[in-house]
Amino acid sequence: MYPYFTTATTTTTTTTGATSRSSSSDDDDKGGVGTLQLVKALLFSTWRLVLWTAVCALVYTVSSYVGPSLIDSFVQYLNGRRRFANEGCLLVTAFVVAKVLEGLSMRYWFFSLQQVGIRVRAALVAIIYQKGLALSSNSRQGRTSGEVINLMSVDADRIGLFSWYMHDLWMVPIQVTLALLILYSSLGLASLAALAATVVVMLANVPLGRMQEKYQEKLMASKDTRMKAMSEILRNMRILKLQAWEMKFLSRIIELRKKETGWLSKYVYTSAMITFVFWGAPTFVSVVTFGACMLMGIPLESGKVLSALATFRILQEPIYNLPDTISMVIQTKVSLDRIAAFLRLEELQPDVVEKLPSGTSDVAVEVNDGSFSWEASSENPTLKDLNFRILHGMRVAVCGTVGSGKSSLLSCILGEVPKISGNVRLCGTTAYVSQSPWIQSGKIEDNILFGKEMDRSKYEHVLEACSLKKDLEILPFGDQTVIGERGINLSGGQKQRVQIARALYHDADIFLFDDPFSAVDAHTGSHLFKECLLGMLSSKTVIYVTHQVEFLPSADLILVMKHGKVTQAGKYEEILGSGTDFMELVGAHKDALSALDAVNLSPESTSGAIENMESHPKTMHKEDIKVENGKIDDIAGQNGQLVQEEEREKGRVDFSVYWRYTTTAYKGVLVPFILLAQILFQALQIGSNYWMAWAAPVSKDTEPPVSSLVLIYVYVAFALGSSICVLLRSLLLVTAGYETATLLFNKMHACIFRAPMSFFDSTPSGRILNRASTDQSDVDTSMPFQIGSFAFSVIQLLGIIAVMSQVAWQVFVVFIPVIGICGWYQQYYISTARELARLVGVCKAPIIQHFAESLSGSTTVRSFDQKSRFVGTNFCLNDAYSRPKFHNAAAMEWLCLRLDMLATVTFAFSLVFLIFLPEGTIDPAMAGVAVTYGLNLNMLQAWVVWNLCNLENKIISVERILQYTCIPSEPPLTIETSRPECNWPSRGEVDIRDLQVRYGPHMPFVLRGLTCTFPGGMKTGIVGRTGSGKSTLIQALFRIVDPTVGQIFIDGIDTLTIGLHDLRSRLSIIPQDPTMFEGTVRSNLDPLEEYTDEQIWQVMRFSLLHKNAYISCSLLLRLAFHPP
């Protein structure tokens, strides 16, 4: 389907002057992918299946009205009025054939529509993914991964789900027309009153529908904001834990949720009112119609009344479905608008870089009069007046002060920065190493190969050049070790070296390195420079950004950047003596080194520190730090890998899940009232039908037992009672569902934020976001109605059984074994369907995870020309998600078809039994009531089982949320009986005694018997090669991981005896990986809002941030991010 969809999208958007991949930034009024074009594309790609389902829907609609049109004849037949021989058998045959056609057409219709939904969702996810990879920098700033994940996980799903409802829009007029024809044949001109009442009911929904659309838009917008914040928090959870900020950020999520639930409450209560209007609509229409009959003097006979009631009951289907249809139309329109708006976002300009095939020119990179700017509205370009030419085989160094435009220069060569003027020409393939390492979750080998075939000798050479062999030796599975999200279980240096290895293995023509040696120590950096840039890449074109002056003399060309311009260009010796910017840069570097050399500890303090270390017999020896990686073993699972397969429950959903869901809100007090309201509604509905059948005469010759006025008054009383019951039921149901959703959300997020860091290291953020987005949406808007529909359908089925058995108890001869067979079929089906539903939930998280990774590393993906491979991976993940959904739909229709046929057998037996009873044995009017309800038997029986199965599928969302409410928590944040003094730690002395640390009960020790003291007020350096335990020691200080044996004392207080917040809030850390939050400069420097502006400016002056021309303008400057 996808090729057709992309073709259709391109075709429809071309007519408006822009395609979905256009580089134009035009808005809706200037062209682009509009909602109408998107709908056309979807229909174009599925029109054959949609057409066949429309034919089936028409057959189903016509056959469903055959029964009501025959009821009057059937009642008259039972009353002795037989127009020809074998009339009864012919009537039974007509009833049964119509029901069989109805069942077969409906099953094919539903199954095909589900296939349409699966295909539409997959195509939308694919096009959203491709659009995400092509977004320009400005578009990426406006849309975070959390917002786009919502488009994929919620909006695309909702549009796919709309396939169920697409034919309802044109079927309703046909159903109403058929109903009016039947009513006209039975009640004459009173059918016009029925038409007027139906129109009134539909018009009454217009203002409610508009309100619901408004609330839906606001709800989705607030959900986007929350998901955006949640995605950012999960990405930076480590720093939140280390700084004791997690509760503050949890409160932010709760505040965002409060805004969301404000719109959610309005949305669900509007849905409740729509439900009330339409559940009460058939009763309202019947009251108006019978009232018109009385006013017009049209006689009401039981056969005609029952025919009308059966018509009203079947008309209930479109009327019952109409609120859902209208709601889905509104929700789908909102989702289509949101996706269309996303597809209209500006993409990277295809003409920024003129790319030439390898070997067609001696010039590798050439820029002429180039000016570029990240911000299109900025008056000052990021880069301006660029003019340089780089030949193939040259090594080019780019240097300059912080913020001078070095990284932007590499980005403009890759075509990532919007071009204002000039031209860029690039000849050959590229490989890019970003400043912030981008690592995919998966095997280290896959990260290095990056889609290339394995060449073992080349691979080993790359590992040797990047100093990775020793690291791989100490990892539990070598290069087959699965690394966590964003390489969470690798050190910063390891991640950077994996990035460099990826570039080297790619064997491109042009290599761009953005300060790759800043994350490694000096010795490793020198080795990498010698083996990689001077060795393996000696014949390649290399452009490298660096602050390290010692790497500059080896460059064939040095570009000195300042304020977005290349102020100097030439070889090291040429520009060093020019006495300008480059000389200042080199001089500043030498001054900094001299300043560091001048900082020495006093002899006494140094001596004391050394003596202290030597005085303890249990110091850390070389053999104690030989193999354990301080990060890799982080809560590794039983198979030794950090990232485990997502937990999936097995077997039947435990009853406790249902119990916890139904009793979470108000301890379940509302549940019996909801059930009582539905039981009373059903009883009053049945009572009103019995009343009309009893009070109306069978024929004109029969004297009615009551007057027409009494008949109508009593019927109106029944109608009012049932309407009040359905109103109470709707309001109580959404109240309970809303409160449950709120409580489950708060509980799940509280447990997530209190989870230990090991949980986040081993759990990809996509899994957590899947629960916070898709599963929470199900609990918010689907679960209350789903569990309510099941309970209500069961009550309705029991009502039909009671009516049919009261008229002819012999029906139980067939009904009991049929119920047994249905139960067997249901059990046979549900075990498969349940696991398929769980697979659907598990298979969705990898799509989200892959998309989030792709967005964050889109520049790297494009620079390696790997976009098609990543799109292919997205297709595979999409297919893996679609397969269980397809099989689940097929299994459901398999079950429903058999249930339909069994219900038809029961109905046929009842009819045959009735026509062969001796005349006068049974009241024809009561028999007519039984037939009236029996017409809905197959539908209702299938509805009960469908609701049960769908409930089991949907309750899995609750089950998955409840899983995250049981995550083991960290130790207490504060311990009231053991709180340190306000000025603790005053000296800062750290005393470590026999410290032994490991990350799990079955894991080897990372730190073994470490004993030492860090004197207060001293600067203590911790050195050691990768994997020696440096990071583990820091984590133990902050209690990210608690010691297995031993103690850590800070100013005499055992850190294990105080709360985590009391400990972490008194310590401070500069993390290995830089962390930034979207927002202002001030909110990043002081997230807890504890300091004054003057204090913040003082810190900025200490860190030289005040020299930045942009930041110095305002603390409220919003930060924008350009993903690596």
pLDDT for 970-995, tens place per residue? 999 999 999 999 889 999 899 999 99
Residue 433 lies in a domain: no
Looking at beta carbons, which pairs linking 138-144 to residues 24 or more positions away fall under 8 Å? 138/25, 138/346, 138/374, 138/375, 138/376, 138/418, 139/345, 139/346, 139/347, 140/855, 140/858, 140/1121, 140/1122, 140/1123, 141/1120, 141/1121, 141/1122, 142/345, 143/342, 143/345, 144/228, 144/231, 144/232, 144/1078
What is the domain extent for residue 1056? 971-1070
Residue 975 lies in a domain: yes
Is the confidence at residue 4, as pLDDT, over 80? no
Please calculate the CA angle 56-62-67 and round it to the nearest 5 degrees.
Answer: 130
What integer pLDDT is reported at residue 513 of this predicted model?
A: 93
What integer pLDDT is reported at residue 602 of this predicted model?
A: 45
Q: What is the mean pLDDT of residues 593-604?
A: 47
Q: Which residues neighbour 366 within 8 Å (Cβ) at sequence distance 6 or greater?
A: 388, 389, 390, 424, 425, 426
Q: Which residues neighbour 149 within 8 Å (Cβ) at sequence distance 6 or greater?
A: 227, 231, 769, 773, 848, 851, 852
Lowest mean pLDDT among 288-297, 522-531, 630-639: 630-639
What integer pLDDT is reported at residue 641 of this predicted model?
A: 54
Residue 529 lies in a domain: no
What integer pLDDT is reported at residue 591 of this predicted model?
A: 54
What does the pLDDT look like over 134-160, one tens digit per residue? 888 778 776 766 778 888 888 898 899
Q: pLDDT: is 628 or 920 the higher one?
A: 920
Please check whether residue 719 is in contact with residue 288, taking contact to mean a CB–CB distance below 8 angstroms: no
Look at residues 769, 685, 665 and name the one whose alpha carbon lies nearest to residue 230.
Answer: 769
Q: Which two tokens stand for residue 596?
A: 């560091």
Backbone angles phi, psi at 356, to 5 degrees: -115, 150
Please count the other Cβ atoms lying within 10 Å of the Cβ belonging to residue 101.
16
Lowest mean pLDDT among 266-275, 877-886, 915-924: 915-924
Is the confidence at residue 704, as pLDDT, over 50? yes
Look at residues 891, 896, 890 and name the one whose alpha carbon lies nearest to residue 942.
Answer: 896
Residue 594 pLDDT grade (very low, low, confident, very high; cuts 50, 70, 90): low
Residue 98 lies in a domain: no
Lowest mean pLDDT among 15-24, 657-666, 739-748, 898-907: 15-24
d(CA 62, CA 175): 8
What integer pLDDT is reported at residue 612 of this predicted model?
A: 45
Q: pLDDT: is 1122 or 143 the higher one?
A: 143
Half-sphere exposure of 487 (CA within 13 A, CB side): 24
Is the confidence at residue 380, as pLDDT, over 80? yes
What integer pLDDT is reported at residue 460 of this predicted model?
A: 93
Residue 1031 lies in a domain: yes
Q: Which residues neighbour 195 within 8 Å (Cβ) at sequence distance 6 or greater?
A: 176, 180
d(CA 272, CA 785): 10
Q: Is 484 left (phi over 0), alpha (psi -120 to 50) or beta?
A: beta
Look at residues 911, 1016, 967 and name the one whose alpha carbon lies nearest to residue 71.
Answer: 911
Distance of CA 18 to the CA centre of its chain: 29
Please check whether residue 399 is in contact with residue 588, taking contact to mean a CB–CB distance below 8 angstroms: no
What integer pLDDT is reported at residue 747 of this predicted model?
A: 95
At 1063, which amino acid appears? L
- The DSSP string of 400-446 is ESTTSSHHHHHHHHHT-SPEEEEEEEEES-EEEE-SS----SEEHHH
Residue 641 lies in a domain: no
> Nearest 10 degrees: CA dihedral of 78, 84, 88, 89?
170
Is the confidence at residue 586, as pLDDT, over 80? no
d(CA 902, CA 938): 8
What integer pLDDT is reported at residue 580 of this predicted model?
A: 66
The burial of 546, by beta-carbon neighbours within 10 Å (0-12 exposed, 13-18 middle, 19 or more buried), is given as buried
Please check whether residue 314 is in contact with residue 352, taking contact to mean a CB–CB distance below 8 angstroms: no
Please count the other Cβ atoms lying within 10 Å of the Cβ belonging to residue 781.
23
Radius of gyration for the alpha carbons in the chain, expressed in angstroms and rounded: 36
What integer pLDDT is reported at residue 1000 of this predicted model?
A: 72
d(CA 976, CA 418): 56
What integer pLDDT is reported at residue 20 of this predicted model?
A: 36
The burial of 332, by beta-carbon neighbours within 10 Å (0-12 exposed, 13-18 middle, 19 or more buried), is given as buried
What integer pLDDT is reported at residue 323 of this predicted model?
A: 65
Lowest mean pLDDT among 142-151, 434-443, 581-590, 1039-1048: 581-590
Is the confidence at residue 963, as pLDDT, over 80? yes
Cα distances from 1102 to residues 991, 1003, 1085, 1098, in angstroms, run 30, 43, 13, 6
d(CA 36, CA 29): 13
Please calculate the CA angle 257-260-262 and round it to the nearest 5 degrees.
Answer: 110
Residue 649 lies in a domain: no
What integer pLDDT is reported at residue 623 of this predicted model?
A: 35
Please check whether residue 517 is in contact with residue 548, taking contact to mean a CB–CB distance below 8 angstroms: yes
At 177, which amino acid appears? T
- The DSSP string of 273-309 is HHHHHHHSHHHHHHHHHHHHHHHHT----HHHHHHHH
Average pLDDT across the chain, whole number: 82
Task: Tell me, yes or no, if the pTM score tops 0.75.
Answer: no
Q: Is 483 left (phi over 0), alpha (psi -120 to 50) or beta?
A: beta
The burial of 725, by beta-carbon neighbours within 10 Å (0-12 exposed, 13-18 middle, 19 or more buried), is given as buried
Look at residues 262, 368, 474 and name the one whose alpha carbon lies nearest to residue 1029.
Answer: 474
Lowest mean pLDDT among 746-760, 771-785, 809-823: 809-823
Count of domains for the chain: 1
Is residue 78 within a helix (H) or strand (E), and if so which, with residue range? helix 66-78
Residue 201 lies in a domain: no
At 138, which amino acid appears? N
What does the pLDDT look like over 168-200, one tens digit per residue? 888 888 888 888 888 888 888 888 888 888 888
Is the confidence at residue 644, as pLDDT, over 90? no
What does the pLDDT look like over 543-562, one tens digit per residue? 999 888 888 888 999 998 88
Q: What is the mean pLDDT of residues 64-81?
A: 82
Q: What is the CATH number of the domain that holds 983?
A: 3.40.50.300
What does the pLDDT look like over 465-512, one tens digit per residue? 998 888 888 777 888 888 766 666 677 788 889 999 999 998 899 999
Q: pLDDT: is 120 or 595 the higher one?
A: 120
d(CA 915, CA 79): 11
Lowest mean pLDDT among 455-464, 782-791, 808-817, 1096-1105: 808-817
**Positive/negative CA dihedral, 838, 840, 841, 845:** positive
Looking at the DSSP assignment, which residues form a beta bridge with residue 388?
Answer: 367
The burial of 502, by beta-carbon neighbours within 10 Å (0-12 exposed, 13-18 middle, 19 or more buried), is given as buried
DSSP 3-state of 1093: helix
At 5, which amino acid appears? F
- Return the beta strands (E) in 515-623 as ranges: 541-545, 557-562, 565-570
Backbone angles phi, psi at 923, to 5 degrees: -65, 120
Residue 849 pLDDT grade (very low, low, confident, very high; cuts 50, 70, 90): confident
The burial of 587, by beta-carbon neighbours within 10 Å (0-12 exposed, 13-18 middle, 19 or more buried), is given as exposed
Looking at the DSSP assignment, which residues form a beta bridge with residue 1010?
Answer: 995
What integer pLDDT is reported at residue 14 of this predicted model?
A: 39
Residue with tokens 């435990």: 654
What does the pLDDT look like over 385-428, one tens digit per residue? 899 999 999 999 998 887 888 899 999 999 988 888 899 999 99
Please check whether residue 529 is in contact with residue 548, taking contact to mean a CB–CB distance below 8 angstroms: no
Q: What percent of the chain has pLDDT over 70?
A: 86
Lowest mean pLDDT among 28-42, 609-623, 917-931: 609-623
Maximum average pLDDT range among 83-87, 147-151, 303-307, 449-453: 449-453
What does the pLDDT look like over 221-273, one tens digit per residue? 899 889 888 988 998 898 999 999 999 999 999 999 999 999 999 999 998 88
Residue 613 pLDDT grade (very low, low, confident, very high; cuts 50, 70, 90): very low
Backbone angles phi, psi at 706, to 5 degrees: -135, 165
Q: Which two tokens stand for residue 797?
A: 């089925």
For residues 404-439, one letter each, b for 16 or more C-beta atoms within 10 angstroms of the residue's C-beta and e for the rest, the string is: bbbbbbbbbbbbbbbbeebebbbbbbbbbbbbbbbb
Q: pLDDT: is 621 or 326 the higher one?
A: 326
The β-bridge relationship of strands 565-570 and 557-562 is antiparallel
At 862, which amino acid appears? R
Look at residues 394, 387, 456 and name the one whose alpha carbon lies nearest to residue 428.
Answer: 394
